[in-house]
Amino acid sequence: MAPSLDFSEWWAREDRKGTPVVVTMENPNYSVLEIDDESEFIGSVIDKGRGRNAKQFTWVLLLKAHRAVGCVTWLATGLWALLSAVKKRLIFRQGVSVETDKPGKGRLLFGFLRAFLAVSLVALTLEVVAHWNGWHFHRPNLQIPETTVIWGWFHGGYQAWMSFRYNYIAALIRSLSSFCVLLFLIQSADRLVLCLGCFWIKFKKIKPQIEGDVLKFEDIEGAGYEYPMVLVQIPMCNEREVYEQSISAVCQLDWPKDRFLVQVLDDSDDESIQSLIRSEVSKWNQRGINIVYRHRVVRTGYKAGNLKSAMACDYVKAYEFVAIFDADFQPNPDFLKQTVPHFKGNPEIGLVQARWAYVNKDENLLTRLQNINLCFHFEVEQQVNGVFLNFFGFNGTAGVWRVKALEESGGWLERTTVEDMDIAVRAHLNGWKFIFLNDVKVLCEVPESYEAYRKQQHRWHSGPMHLFRLCLPAIIKSKISIWKKANLVLLFFLLRKLILPFYSFTLFCIILPLTMFVPEAELPLWVICYVPVLMSFLNILPPQNPSPSSFLTFSSRTPCQ
């Protein structure tokens, strides 16, 4: 039976509610009156002969009118603000980034989302109307009622919608959900294996060991020849806020001054920023630091083009290693002493990657969530792949490359937006090995606003599939083992770069909300509850020192300090 919607009792209760009002009249001819409820007062005025004052009655009516006008004004203001926001967003496109206002795929996606939202609202309206009219049908025995029972065109339309939803939409959603659940299980198994590998590394206390003769850092005088030549590069572009601290941190590296050179690779298009960076470089140059300032006239290839141009200098041939730091990174003074010794005695090592640490991880909820995600990336993914496979994706900064490895792998290429991943894959195909140092940390910052975070994630995720298409022929033709080829194709590219973002968005952002409107397509409870909870704990537990409680409560005591 349809629910009864009688609001008379509720309205009566609301009408009886009132706030005592004290009305004080300046005229001494009128008395002071306390009103608990206007309706009772009006009734008492009518019933009793005493107090029948027209002005008092008018005052009560004015109070009622004032309250009604205030309510209408509040509703009108809220409605006008809502309509103005919709008009700005959908018609005038105010507040929308210019990057998203692109023809083709961008507008097609927005059109699809708007159509999907409209269809969802129509379906929800049908469900609400059907519920009010008592049109309840059981899913296991869905039957079209007799013609005599059907009344009205709306009832018939609802029946047609129910039949179409059960026979077509639900079947499509079930098929797509089964495929996404399969991908979800595969990705969960991969995540579980990585976590087991991380626990094994911690249990066995496995760490990269320095082979061969360790550099005698304590005997600096007379032993400068034991320090290899290191080139330090700082690529930047319009970094007004952080250029000074990054240059200062790099210039304070504990390394013989005649054995390393700092290249400040400035791609800024603002002349004022160029002047500031040039002045900072000149200041450190006067202090005896070997530092040079480079600015490209033709800025092509973005970061890859900047690094490629810097490596083309003639004096680079005198250097054996090159360390790269983005403009917002601040290495500790002992960074080179902790990383460069791993190359000595290991001619097959091409890259030593350090871990990131975040100075603003406790700024807000977004930075804390990023801290959890990136801690898992370094603690589990990078460390496990570095220990067991000697291969992982270069993070683009806080790493030291062997110059020979860069040259033999083709150097920096401008063909993709993920130049760091590109050079790592090509070096791996040429037989070079990588080392990840989980104990060596370099300070940096994570985006504090959603807009900055969105742009960063777009840069990180827009290029891997394009890179996979370019690298696939080289992977097939390379001389590495079949297992390394399978790891590159199936795990590194397909599973972690394509399947993970596809299934997570499709399953949890499209299919799961659709099941609210299509109850015939059900998802198992373990898919929407148990397995995600397990995966969440696996994301939290490995990076923990003592317990996961600090991560669960988003407190400031996190392992990435």
- Just list the catalytic residues: 267, 420
160, 166, 170, 171: CA torsion to nearest 10 = -120
Choose among 383, 434, 427, 414: nearest CA to 542: 383
Q: What are the structure tokens assigned to 131, written together?
A: 């519920």
Element spanning 159, H or E: helix 152-164
CB 398 within 8 A of CB 329: yes
Angle at 510 between CA 508 and CA 511, to 5 degrees: 75
* Runs of H (alpha helix) within 205-312: 243-251, 271-286, 302-311
Which residues on neighbouring strands pair with residue 293, listed in sequence order? 264
Distances (CA, A) of 277 to 160, 184, 233, 313: 69, 48, 14, 20
Q: Which residues contact 541 (CB under 8 A, 6 or more apart)?
A: 195, 548
| Alpha-carbon gap, residue 372 to 145, rounded angstroms | 54
Q: Is 262 helix (H, G, I), strand (E, B) or coil?
A: strand
CB 55 within 8 A of CB 30: yes
Which residue's entry shows tokens 């009793």? 48
Distances (CA, A) of 19 to 128, 290, 318, 341, 526: 36, 78, 86, 79, 52
User: Would you call 359 exposed, middle or buried from its count of C-beta atoms within 10 A (0-12, 13-18, 19+)?
Assistant: middle
| Alpha-carbon gap, residue 266 to 248, rounded angstroms | 15
Positive or negative torsion for Cα 405, 407, 412, 416: negative
Task: Tell me, letter by letter, the H, E, C secondary structure of 41-74.
Answer: HHHHHHHCCCCCCHHHHHHHHHHHHHHHHHHHHH
Pairing of strands 230-236, 260-266: parallel
Choose among 229, 236, 281: nearest CA to 259: 229
DSSP 87-135: IIIIIS-TT--GGG--TTHHHHHHHHHHHHHHHHHHHHHHHHHHHHTT-
Q: What are the structure tokens assigned to 207, written together?
A: 């760490």
Report residue 409: phi and psi, to 5°: -90, 0
Query: For 144-290, where are the E strands, in sequence order?
Result: 230-236, 260-266
